[in-house]
Amino acid sequence: MKHLLKLLDLTGEEIVDLLDLADRLKAENKQGVAHPILQGKCLGMIFEKSSTRTRVSFEVGIHQLGGYAVVLSSDGSQIGRGEPVQDTARVLSRYVDGIMIRTFAQEEVEALAQYGSVPVINGLTDFCHPCQVLADLQTIRAYKGGLEGRKLCFIGDGNNMMNSLIVGGLKTGMRVSVACPAGYRPPREILEFAVGYPERFEITDSPRQAVQGADAVYTDVWTSMGQEDERKAREAAFAGYCVDEELMALAAPDAMVLHCLPAHRGEEISEGVFEAHAGEIFEEAENRLHAQKAVLVRVMGA
């Protein structure tokens, strides 16, 4: 495993391997076991989008593995002044042992991997969020005892989260049902992938249909970073897509709720549902640390 650019690049077996490693690192960390696997190695972290969980979890994770991080923001480096990504890749490859980037365009992540000579990890793009979904799958597996045959439902925008959940869920044997308005569906590349799983994938504009019998119900903000000018139009389009008590009554009786955070209570999720499932949601947030440590070990540990 050279890079983590998108889950489409991985097999189901590779995803499960990362989850197994994440579980082991998590358990041993809580027992006080040290993991100096990346002793002395440096992770260059590029942030063109703001971050809380991604930055803290990667910085803590590389430190726990014996390495250290150098953080670059777009307003404090030549990246923000338009330096070509291929030049950035070739320069940073001579300084660091791996690159994590959180940015807008998926093409920028792919170019870093193409022109650089060190592992590249996608910390989020507008197209996908593979690290978050690894943490999500790790959480579902822990709460439900496995992924095979479980139903994952996503309610909301056909954004990077929906894209990665469709891919990660289907590749690990889950049934995946998503609900989004017609004008906010996932891109063609994701829908073409999902066509290969006709018995385990459903897309609809009805949240009530999608959530029927779901073991895990997932939602995300309706307006992502960079879409602020669309807020009013999106609020109108997603009216009726709130994960509230009425909608949850249609899911499995022991259904869990997940959210990648930050959450807008009263919009995509009700205050009551969020607080009733806060234990699951914040365990999911913690698992960003453990899942990303597994990725760091696999791509930088050779």
Q: Annotated catalytic residue: which of 102, 141, 150, 175? A: 102
97 included as an active-site residue: no
Whole-number Å distance between alpha carbons of 58 and 296 = 9
260 included as an active-site residue: yes
In this structure, are residues 247 and 207 in contact, taking their beta carbons and an 8 Å threshold? yes
Tell how far CA 80 is from the center of its chain: 24
Q: Annotated catalytic residue: which of 129, 175, 234, 259? A: 129
254 included as an active-site residue: no
C-alpha dist (Å) from residue 207 to 108, 136, 191, 197, 264: 34, 20, 18, 20, 18
Tokens standing for 151? 């139903």
- Burial class of residue 18 (count of CB atoms within 10 Å of its CB; 0-12, 13-18, 19+): buried
220 included as an active-site residue: yes
Tokens standing for 3? 């890079």
Q: Of all residues in the chain, what percent are helix, strand and coil, respectively (each to 5)?
A: 45, 15, 35
42 included as an active-site residue: no
Whole-number Å distance between alpha carbons of 275 and 270 = 9
Q: Annotated catalytic residue: which of 3, 131, 220, 277? A: 220
DSSP calls for 2-34:
--BS-GGGS-HHHHHHHHHHHHHHHHHHHTT--
Residue 94 DSSP symbol: T
132 included as an active-site residue: yes
In this structure, are residues 171 and 8 in contact, taking their beta carbons and an 8 Å threshold? no
In this structure, are residues 259 and 282 in contact, taking their beta carbons and an 8 Å threshold? no
What residues are annotated to the active site?
102, 129, 132, 220, 260, 288
